[in-house]
Amino acid sequence: MANPVSGFSKKSKTEKIEWLAANYLTDRPDAVALLKNYWNDDSAVQRLHDDFIENTLSNYYLPFGVAPNFLINNTLYALPMVIEESSVVAAASNAAKFWLSRGGFNAEVIATQKNGQVHINFFGKSDHISAFFSEIYPKLIATIESLQKNMKKRGGGLTHLELQDHTETLDGYYQLHATFETLDAMGANFINSCLEAIAHTFETEAKNYPSFQHTASYPEVVLSILSNYVPECLVRAQVSCAVDDLSDKHMEGHVFAKKFVRAIAIANAEKRRAVTHNKGIMNGVDALILATGNDFRAVEAGVHAYAARDGAYRSLTHAKVEDGIFTFWIELPLALGTVGGLTSLHPMVQLAFDILQKPNAQRLMEIVAVAGLAQNFAAIRSLVTTGIQKGHMKMHLMNILNQFQATDTEKQKAIAHFKEHTVSHSAVVAFIDTLRS
């Protein structure tokens, strides 16, 4: 049984590994060597990784791949993607190739505002807190001038601050709702610093406000934090072509378009389908966000909230056919950065931005939205034609072979065999057993 440990963060990396092995990995004699085997040979790079989080023991590698042939706004891109799922990069590449000869992808940023709130308890009269906010407003703005000085020089900073009454949803609940422009930075630290400064001034000034002193009911700041729900930081990506141009060996264009549009309608109407539908979109979005050192958890939370913005969870993509033209599009809320955080620290992130031709934040929003749209197109195309498993299991074949430590010769024979046969876990196991017997 493991014992509690004190001062763990102050131990050396080797001491932490030895403690972990002695307390939790006694049945894994290879554990220490395994953890050390994933250290980077370059000690400077390893020290950099060690400082990203607390209590670092080793590195956890994910594949870094690239999906080529993305024509976006008439510029050709190769998209760096970091993900473990076998079929994602292949699907993105196939979608890119499909649309390369049909005009490519078009994308535009609709809005770039981010937001945060100072959450307040106040059980007095609403006109008192409203009057107080109006009076104190100049001081609230002044209190963050030093924080936003450099941001304002670049054209960003706080753009709006208002008091909102939410007492209908929660008794005594008000908030200061702030919107910001953070340009090429994701801006979380900047926004949170501004909100905390505003909150401090608000609460300090409230203690001396006559109306509050008279009633002995003071506003109380509960917390101050940015929001990862950013519907005002929105990007749209789209593809379009004549219905006849959708024809391929699997299906005539008009049949494909009809089934495709219906599939999107189903995802829009049925939340059980919508969740899986949108998860597929995020396969592409997350892979690119990870590659560029952005916060995929924040993006995931905001995107899924956006999918449910009208009270029902719906498809993030839309499709239509009008006058013989097929159009497929997506709108996503994406708060991304190209400066700050890991974007300037992680060598592979820097390489990813070089591959993307050093985009600014708005261009990165467009590219990420296209990745999500391409991923969804590839998935729906498979679903309404050959079925999702044919392509997916072909990609999964190598994972199954590696599970059984197949030799190079066995892998070559398996690949040749399953070009003509359906891939399943049991079928691969049977084939390997036959080879080995």
132-137, long-range: CB within 8 Å, 24+ apart, which pairs?
Answer: 132/205, 132/206, 132/209, 132/211, 132/212, 132/219, 133/163, 133/176, 135/209, 136/201, 136/202, 136/205, 136/209, 137/161
- Tell me if residue 10 is catalytic: no
Check if 85 is active-site.
Answer: yes
- Of the candidates 49, 200, 258, 279, the residue annotated as catalytic is 279
Q: Which of 85, 108, 203, 300 is catalytic?
A: 85
| Structure tokens given for 37 | 């085997």
Residue 358 designated active-site: no
Q: Which of 295, 331, 346, 366 is catalytic?
A: 295
In this structure, how many other beta carbons lie within 10 angstroms of the beta carbon of residue 38? 12
Rg (CA), the chain: 27
User: How crowded is residue 386: how many other Cβ atoms within 10 Å of its Cβ?
Assistant: 12
- Please indicate whether residue 279 is annotated as part of the active site: yes
How far from 86 is each of 111, 201, 358, 364, 400, CA to CA, in Å?
Answer: 34, 52, 27, 24, 11
Nearest to 372 by CA among 304, 322, 321, 311: 304
Check: CB of residue 429 under 8 Å from CB of residue 414.
no
Angle 92-97-99 from CA coordinates, rounded to 5°: 95
Catalytic center residues? 85, 279, 295, 392
